[in-house]
Copies of this chain bind each other. A is one copy, B any other.
Amino acid sequence: MFGQMQDSPLLVSQLIEHAERLYPTKRIITKTVEGDWHIYTYADAAKRSRQLSQALISLGVKQDDVIGTLAWNTFRHFECWYGISGIGAVLHTINPRLFPEQLDYIINHAEDKYLFIDTTFVPLLEALQAKLSHVKGYVIMCDEANMPTTQLPNVLCYETLLSQQDGDFAWPELDERQASSICYTSGTTGNPKGVVYSHRSSLLHSWGITGKDITSLDSQSIMLPIVPMFHANAWGLVYACPMVGAELVFPGPHLDGASVSDMINRFKVDISAAVPTVWTMLLQHLRQSGETLESLNSVLIGGSAVPRSMIQAFDQDYNVEVWQAWGMTEMSPLGSLNRPLPQDSKLSYEEQLNIRSKQGRPCFGVQMKIVDDENHELPHDGKAFGRLLVKGPWIVSQYFKMEKSALEDDGWFDTGDVATIDATGNMQITDRSKDVIKSGGEWISSIDLENAAMGHPDVLEAAVIGVSHPKWEERPLLIIVPKNKNKVPDSEALLHFLADKVAKWWLPNGVEVVDEIPHTATGKINKVGLRETFKDYQFEEAIA
C-alpha cells in the first residue's frame, strides 16, 4: 500500500523561491572580481536567476544540456546555480586549479555546451579552447564595461544576456531525480571522475546540514562561504542558506587574510567555512594586524584534517568555535561534523582538543560503518580502525558515464579512508586505505606517524609510506623535509622522539631526508609519487 501524499518533487528551484517569498529583503553581498561591493536581496537574486533561465532558453539550452562554470563565489555564480538547474539543465562547476589536461578532459567528458567564466579565467580558456569540442560559446560573467579583449570564439556578456530578459518565468516541475549538477573529483591517479547530483539529493543534503546540531544555520545567520563553489558544491551552503533565509557574503577571488578579516568585520559575519590553508592565512593576518573577529561565532573547517593548534588559536585568541567537517565530492559533500558535546566541557582542555580533532558525527541521512579486510563490522570503541563505508540518499552510486557501480556488493560506498568511530559516534580518519601500512597482518596509520614526526622542532614536513619488507610484508619509511638544511635531525634522534608517541611496532624502519615532498593539485602529499620514487628502497635492517 502506498501513502497518498502529494507526489511533490524536491527541486532546487524551490530553495530560491522559498527565500524569495519568506526572506525577500535578506542580502547577498559580494566582493566582486573587480574588487567593489555588490549588495542585493534574495528577491533580486530570484528574479535574475529567472532572467538567466530565460537567457539560456533563448540560447537554445535544453533539459540535460550541461553548462560549465569557471567562477569564484559571487552573486552571478549563485544565479547560475539556480538559473541553470532550474530549467533542468545541468550545472557543472569546474575547478580552475586543475591541471590544464584535466580541465579539457572534464569539459569534453561532460560535453559542456556553454561555459560561464569569470574574467580571471579568460586566459586559461583561451589556451584550452581549441580542444573543447562541445562548447558553443563563452559567457563572461561581467557587464559590458568590464568585458575583456579576448581571442575566445562566440563570446557573450552575462549582464547583456540578462538585460534582454524580463524575469517573467516559472521554473518547470521536473522529476526530482533529474540531474541538478556535476562535480569532478581529482584523484591522485587516473582521470577525474564525475559525480552527478540530483535535485532530490541536493535538497535532502540541504535539510541534512541545516539542523541545529549541524550547521545551526537560520534566518539570523550571516554566512561567508570561502570554500569555493567549484569545490564539492561549497559544502552545500549555496543551497542551505536560501533554505533557511541566512544572508550570504561571497568573497569573490579575495581569499587573503586581510580581505577575509575585512569581510567578517564589515558585514558582521557569524559563521564561515573554508579549508585549513585559508584559516592559516587569516590567523597570520590577525596576529600581524591585531584585528579581531567580534561577530564570528563558528567556522566550518574541512578538506583536510584540522591542526589542533588551529582549533586552539580560534578558541583561545578569537573566541571562535571550530567545527571540523568531513565529507567528499561523492557525498554532496557532508558526511559528518564535529560539534562539541556539553559533557565534554568537564574534560581537560587537552582531552577536549583530542575529541575536537576528530572528524565528527554523521548527520541524519548518512550511515557509516567501519569494516576489516573481511568486511566484518568493527566496534565503535574509538580504537578499532577499518575501512570507512557510507550509505545514504546524497551519496554517489555510480560515476558519470561509467558502467560499473561505485558501490560495494552490499550497496555501501567505500570512502577510501580508514577510520575509528567512538561510542558517541565521533569518527576519526586515521589514514587513506591505500596509504595504510600493512605490517604482519596489522595496520599502521601513515597519518598518525606523520603527525607525530611533524611535532619534531626541526621537521618542516613529513610523509610516511609502506615499503615492502621480506618478513612483515610492509614496514613504514619516514621521509622528512628539514626546516633548516644545516640542522637535519638524525634518524636515531627522530625515532627516539617518536618512541613515546606511537606503539613500538609502528616505529619506522628507515628515515630519508629530502629537499621537497611532492604534492597533488589540491595540495595533498602525493604518495603515489613517493611510492614510485622509493619503490626499490631497501631497509638497512629489520626491527625485531
Interface residues of A (CB under 8 A from B): 1-10, 14-15, 18, 21-22, 64, 90, 175, 177-180, 195-201, 204, 207-208, 210-213, 216-220, 243-245, 332, 341-342, 361-362, 364, 367, 380, 391-400, 407, 411, 413, 424-425
Task: Kindly identify which residue among B3, B200, B207 contacts A180, using a CB–CB cutoff of 8 Å.
Answer: B3
Report how far A411 CA is from B14 CA in the complex, Å. Answer: 16
Interface centre among A22, A180, A243, A399 (most CB of B within 10 A): A22
Report how far A57 CA is from B180 CA in the complex, Å. Answer: 41
Contact A3 B200 (CB under 8 A): yes
Interface centre among A21, A175, A197, A213 (most CB of B within 10 A): A213
Contact A177 B393 (CB under 8 A): no
The closest CB in chain B to the CB of A366 belongs to B18
Contact B213 A397 (CB under 8 A): no
| Protomer copies | 2
Contact A196 B3 (CB under 8 A): yes
Q: List B contacts of A204 (CB < 8 A).
A: 10, 207
A-B contact pairs, 28 of them (CB 8 A): A1-B196, A2-B175, A2-B179, A2-B198, A3-B179, A3-B180, A3-B199, A3-B200, A3-B201, A4-B198, A5-B196, A5-B197, A5-B201, A5-B332, A5-B394, A6-B407, A8-B392, A10-B204, A22-B361, A22-B424, A207-B207, A210-B212, A212-B217, A213-B218, A213-B219, A213-B245, A220-B342, A243-B364
- A101 CB, nearest partner CB in chain B, Å: 25
Report how far A195 CA is from B361 CA in the complex, Å. Answer: 36
Q: List B contacts of A425 (CB < 8 A).
A: 21-22
Report how far A463 CA is from B9 CA in the complex, Å. Answer: 41
Q: List B contacts of A18 (CB < 8 A).
A: 364
Report how far A398 CA is from B21 CA in the complex, Å. Answer: 27
Q: List B contacts of A9 (CB < 8 A).
A: 393
Contact B179 A8 (CB under 8 A): no
Task: Kindly identify which residue among B90, B201, B243, B342 contacts A1, using a CB–CB cutoff of 8 Å.
Answer: B90
- A396 CB, nearest partner CB in chain B, Å: 6
Contact B213 A10 (CB under 8 A): no
Shortest 9 CB-CB contacts between residues of A and residues of B: A3-B198, A207-B207, A212-B218, A5-B201, A8-B393, A4-B196, A22-B425, A1-B64, A1-B179
Contact A211 B244 (CB under 8 A): yes
Q: List B contacts of A219 (CB < 8 A).
A: 213, 341
